[in-house]
């Protein structure tokens, strides 16, 4: 077990944090346009990566159904459990919405894809792509409702319709079903762009973490929320996976994804709807740092549990 842990730590997690660290240092030394980097990731690299991967690695229909069902139940149960925890520990009322959101919405793309590719190689990518799609839809529905209220649901729905990953997913699946080949010139362009996704995503994530330091306000709410994301998340995931009978590669990938850090988008929601953005930034920073441990443990355990 310890051999497996150190193998994962040095061969899977460490390379990811080294690239993130490079992005952190670059952002500290130079003035990087994070808005542009984020847009390149969101509108170019990640959608192209998903589109290209799905053309090459056709997801198993059963894995697709299992991934969608798991993520829906996982988010719902995590939300309920964190709400109960917030009530039990008497969180400040103003902190509850962002605590719930940061405990539930994890970084499935910028962080998730590199981890899954390193840990499970190409076989795990289609499963993670389904997770990314579901999590993005939930982010702009549940996330908007929690932070913005019911009055913002129309804006959330409009945002979902603008998500490029949805069209990348649908386009790739349609081409696979109809067995329509793309010209070699186009596939080469897609491959070149896809190959750049991992490094650009990690550099961007590192650069985003460099913005500001830890405020460490509301430490009780902060550390409980961090524990909710990195400890409660995997425990709930294990319960759901075993209950649903999801195992093998799908079980491993979904279990590991439950240990991922909080998504940076939660900070953007905090700024947009004036919901304690500094608290969200603290949760993102701490969960990302501590995920080096949580993800290493999750990958090591996955090989024994599934």
| Per-residue pLDDT at 156 | 63
33 sits in the region (left: phi over 0; alpha: psi -120 to 50; else beta) called beta
Closest CA to 35 of 208, 165, 196: 208
DSSP tag of 13: I
Q: Which domain holds residue 226?
A: 2-209+217-305
The conformational region for residue 248 under phi > 0 = left, psi -120 to 50 = alpha, else beta, is: left
SS3 262: strand
**What is the domain-level CATH number for residue 12?**
1.20.1530.20
pLDDT 10s per residue in the chain (306 long)? Answer: 678 888 888 888 999 999 999 999 999 898 888 888 888 888 898 889 888 888 877 667 888 899 999 999 999 999 999 999 999 999 998 889 999 999 999 999 889 999 999 999 878 888 998 999 899 888 888 887 787 766 666 766 777 777 788 888 888 888 888 888 889 899 999 999 988 888 888 898 888 888 866 778 889 999 999 999 999 999 999 999 999 999 899 999 999 999 999 998 898 888 877 788 889 999 999 999 999 999 999 999 998 999
Counting other chains too, the contacts that 167-172 makes at CB distance below 8 Å and 24 or more residues apart are: 167/47, 168/47, 168/48, 168/50, 168/51, 168/54, 169/50, 169/51, 169/54, 169/129, 169/133, 171/51, 172/50, 172/51, 172/52, 172/54, 172/55
Q: Report pLDDT for 151.
A: 61
d(C-alpha 43, C-alpha 51), whole Å: 12
The domain tally of the chain equals 1
pTM: 0.90
Q: What is the pLDDT of residue 219?
A: 92
Say what the pLDDT of residue 4 is. 80
User: Cα dist. 44→39, 54, 60, 300 in Å?
Assistant: 8, 16, 25, 32
């Amino acid at each position: 077990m310890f051999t497996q842990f150190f193998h994962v730590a040095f061969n899977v997690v460490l390379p990811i944090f080294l690239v993130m660290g490079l992005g952190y240092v670059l952002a500290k030394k130079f003035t990087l346009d994070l808005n542009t980097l984020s847009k390149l990731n969101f509108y170019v690299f990640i959608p192209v990566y998903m589109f290209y991967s799905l053309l090459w690695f056709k997801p198993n229909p059963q894995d697709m159904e299992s991934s969608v069902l798991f993520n829906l139940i996982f988010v719902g149960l995590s939300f309920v459990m964190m709400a109960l925890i917030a009530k039990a520990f008497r969180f400040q009322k103003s902190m509850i919405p962002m605590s719930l959101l940061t405990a539930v919405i994890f970084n499935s793309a910028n962080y998730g894809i590199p981890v899954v590719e390193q840990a499970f190689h190409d076989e795990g990518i289609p499963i993670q792509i389904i997770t990314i799609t579901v999590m993005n839809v939930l982010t702009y529905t549940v996330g908007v409702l929690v932070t913005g209220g019911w009055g913002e649901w129309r804006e959330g729905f409009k945002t979902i319709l603008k998500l490029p990953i949805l069209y990348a997913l649908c386009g790739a699946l349609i081409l696979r079903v109809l067995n329509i080949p793309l010209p070699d010139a186009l596939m080469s362009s897609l491959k070149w762009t896809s190959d750049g996704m991992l490094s650009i995503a990690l550099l961007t994530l590192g650069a985003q973490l460099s913005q500001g330091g830890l405020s460490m306000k509301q430490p009780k709410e902060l550390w409980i929320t961090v524990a909710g994301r990195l400890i409660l998340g995997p425990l709930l995931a294990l319960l759901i996976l075993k209950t649903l009978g999801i195992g093998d590669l799908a079980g491993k990938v979904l279990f590991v994804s439950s240990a991922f850090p909080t998504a940076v988008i939660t900070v953007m929601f905090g700024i947009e709807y004036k919901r304690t953005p500094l608290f969200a930034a603290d949760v993102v920073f701490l969960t990302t740092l501590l995920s080096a441990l949580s993800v290493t443990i999750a990958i090591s355990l996955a090989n024994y549990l599934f």
